[in-house]
Amino acid sequence: MPPGSKPKIVGVIPARLHSQRLPGKVLRQIAGRAMLHHVYDRARECSLLDDLLVATDSAEVREYCAEHQIPVLMTAATHRSGTERIHEVMQKNPAAVFLNLQADEPLLTAGHLRLLAEPFLLDRDMQVTTLKTPLDAAAAQNPNVVKVVTDGRGQALYFSRAPIPYRRDTAGSLPFYKHLGLYGYRRKALAQYCALPSSPLEQAERLEQLRFLENAIPIHVLETAEDTIGVDTEEDWEAVTRYFDNRGRLARA
């Protein structure tokens, strides 16, 4: 990349139809559109993206995207994660940076994507970015909510399903932060990740991002005040549906 030029940034929405906890969720209707359609429409609002597409192994997802003029790429059915699916996209796309935009995050915003992308414009050595948002103590006890702790430079120290940091003394306690499962990767970091075996902490916590940390690939964590609702359960889907219904009522008022 010539000095001073902007790296090409591609947003990828990995869309696996047959998820374990909520099968078919990426095509579930929310306010008249499939969930992944909301993700696509919101991501398009980020001016830093040079390209945006859905990556799937599902003929149904491909048909929906074709019907609604959403760029889509068919990928292998053997991928174990969205990160692996994006790695396949990388083999067919010369972009310098890829953003992992989960198909079950219909509340993502252009602001989230700008936070993920901007560090790559400012630092040629930036490898991986992700996001955090403040979390209250009660929610931190939920193992379905992933927590993150960082150092003074914003680099991730650890991600866990446990409430971290442990509050031994309530006086002057450090805050909890929720990890938002959106990522930016430079090509080199994504290639390194997919060449590495699953790591022990990754297997223990069932958190793929720990593979980066266990192999000394730094993750830069940006803070946002905009929380999201990742849709993994019926309750999540109902909460997101209420959000869009309420927004629609306000728009009509």
| CATH code of the domain covering residue 154 | 3.90.550.10
Asked whether residue 55 is domain-assigned, the answer is yes
Which band of pLDDT confidence, cut at 50, 70 and 90, is reported for residue 5? confident
Asked whether residue 250 is domain-assigned, the answer is no
Specify whether the CB–CB gap between 98 and 82 falls below 8 A. no
Asked whether residue 129 is domain-assigned, the answer is yes
Asked whether residue 252 is domain-assigned, the answer is no
Domain hosting residue 50, numbered range: 9-226
Q: How far apart are CA 48 and CA 113, in angstroms?
A: 8
Asked whether residue 3 is domain-assigned, the answer is no
Return the DSSP state at 215: T
3-state percent breakdown (helix, strand, coil) of the chain, nearest 5: 35, 25, 45
Residues of the chain above pLDDT 90, percent: 85
Specify whether the CB–CB gap between 179 and 162 falls below 8 A. no
Residue listed under structure tokens 């799937």 = 56
Asked whether residue 208 is domain-assigned, the answer is yes
* Best CA proximity match to 240, nearest among 248, 232, 229: 229
Give the residue-averaged pLDDT of 224-238: 92
Structural domain count of the chain? 1
The predicted-structure confidence for 15-50, as pLDDT tens digits, reads as follows: 998 877 788 999 999 999 999 999 999 999 999 999
What global pTM score does this model have?
A: 0.93
pLDDT at 172 over 70: no
Which band of pLDDT confidence, cut at 50, 70 and 90, is reported for residue 1? very low
The predicted-structure confidence for 173-199, as pLDDT tens digits, reads as follows: 789 999 999 999 999 999 999 999 999
